[in-house]
Structure 1
Amino acid sequence: MKHTDYRDYSVDDLTRDDYFRHWVINHNRQSEAFWLEWLDQNPDCADKVQLARAFLQALAEKDTALAPPELDHIMANILQAGEPTVVPLWRRAAFRVAASVLVLLGLGFVAFRYISQQADPVSASLAELSPTLASASIEMVNTTSHPQTIRLQDSSTVLLYPRAKLRYSKRIDPDRREVYLSGKAFFSITKNPKKPFWVYTDQISTQVLGTSFLVNSTASDAKVEVRTGRVSVYMRTDVRRDRLAGKNESAGMVLTPNQQVAFSSIDKRLVKSVVEQPVTLNESPSNDYIFDEAPISQVFELLERNYGLTFIYDAPSLKECYLTANLANESLFDKLNLICKITRSSYELVDGQIVIHSQGCDNK
């Protein structure tokens, strides 16, 4: 891994740097991954990097192996800020090369500056993940004060909340379904095991096969909440790096119903937990929540089945714990608070699971 402070490098320094040349001229994958990530972290240096790239690419096109003094002279001509000096180009080969480099570099740099100013910055960041979304996509913006439903080509639906933006492809991709989201949206995805569905935000990437979930993305934070099915959430930087390296899998977090993951802008990591308001997945009669001296393990089994969450507890410690209470019409956390109060227990949320702590019960 490179630890050089490239921010202090000039265009000339970059063109002479071996790691930079490996990327531009040799198309080395490791170097490419490093420089793309470095540009993400140092966007203000993009102009300098593009200028150095264009210079090296122009020389490579000419298949020119110039001696260092001649390279210095060409670079000085490119970067000089004063009035251009009239030189008889036909007298030296180096000047003919310099002229061709200047033309290619000038046109390329002007085009780059124009495009970078005019193009959506989202397109530039998406180009590495999804060229289709970056170049051939449709963007929907909800300018109303109420959620709007958007139906995608595969019959999946997206409930787009006010001020949110959704970008999706104009054409059908044979390998995957992809969208980009800025803001808040609820997704109901049509199941297709052969074509996973990806939702990209600025910080995270979410992969599903067929499920329903909520994504809320801002400029610095992001959160995914699962309603049904299973969802895999990744750091977007990890997905980009692994795809550049040709890997088919990335290290992510798997979420099940009533679980969520949030991107921490401070720690730059994903944090898994339980959603703020868990909903029941299976409808149960109100009588199922009326307990009369019921073993506490039976209560936890009912809650696990209806909410899809895992309850972790020490069964031997709770074997003498029984519950007599009416938990109907209570939220999950209100149910837990009441259970813990009666059984002299406590609970905490750990990695999307509910952990019960108890010293045991004495009901005699």
Structure 2
Amino acid sequence: MKRPGEQTLIRYFLGQCSPDEEKVVNAYLALKIDQDYIEACLREAFYMQEDGQDPTANHEQRNRVWSNLIAKQQEAPVIRLKPRKLWYRYAAAVVLVMFSAGTIFLLNGRLNHSQEKTAWQHVEGLIGHPKTVTLDDSSMVTLFPGSAIDIPSNFNKTDRQVKLNGRAFFKIAHNKEKPFYVSARELTTKVLGTSFEVNSSGTENIITLHTGKVSVIRADKEIARLIPNQQIKYEQATGKYDVAVVDAAHTLNWLQGELDYERVPLSIIISDIEKWYGVKIQVEQPALLNQKVIFSFKDQSLSRVLSLLSKSADFSYEIKGKQVILKERNMGTN
């Protein structure tokens, strides 16, 4: 049986299908297949439902609608696949069908497949320059040095999802039937076709949108939707986040080998230098890392970069192979 299109399934969950479409969808759901695809459509219906809410109460109503969905799934005594009026009842019926088959149908943005054994391809960035990977759906991922991406063996079969450790720029091929998901620590970024950057290297998750639109999800709830030239910064320790307008193009200088910092803590610059040059930097006085620095470099040797940076941040340094030691200037040699 040919599976229904994404828009058909979304209309079904919203209670907007024709009788003939409902029969087709009911027969399809009875097969208990394509769980990832069904989940993606269910979530999209949820987003469309919340778009019609009063924006002044959007956050509270979103939580209430989602809670009602989960509650309906837990309290419904029987599974009935006949058409219903309310979209969340359709969702509850679908979830219960999955439970009846003994499958845990997790409604979360990270799409964890805890009960499936899926092989993952691990791809790491290079030292000294970015590395671009072309995925099976023609999407392109450019990895910052020292970063890595994990790609499942079933990528683009029923869905498109990857895991990121570090920093990368994504240019996603458009496919409205299969949203693209990037999981990085606690956050998941959902897109259809767009270009954006994810940076989870430090204590923050930073997502910057260049074109299109993205949804940012944490623990099965959407916390933000970005439009071009918007950036979300999410604090890992506290869960606090902020959305701001930025010059998105300015954040991608590293694609051309240039790292540019405008009043950035030295700790972030040091972390990037470690990844870019494949070295380990030991800072003997941690207070040095708190100072904010204006700095940029391109196509320079490690020793040259440290020489320039030491003048801006007032430290001395010593290079021992792949080990670098930073000290306060009056305690060092350079």
TM-score normalised by structure 1 residue count: 0.36
Task: Report which of the two has the higher share of helix.
Answer: 1
> Per chain length, whose mean CA-contact separation is higher, i.e. which structure has more relative contact order (CA < 8 Å, sep 6+)?
2
Task: Report which of the two has the higher share of strand.
Answer: 2
TM-score normalised by structure 2 residue count: 0.40
Determine which structure has more spread, i.e. the larger CA radius of gyration: 1
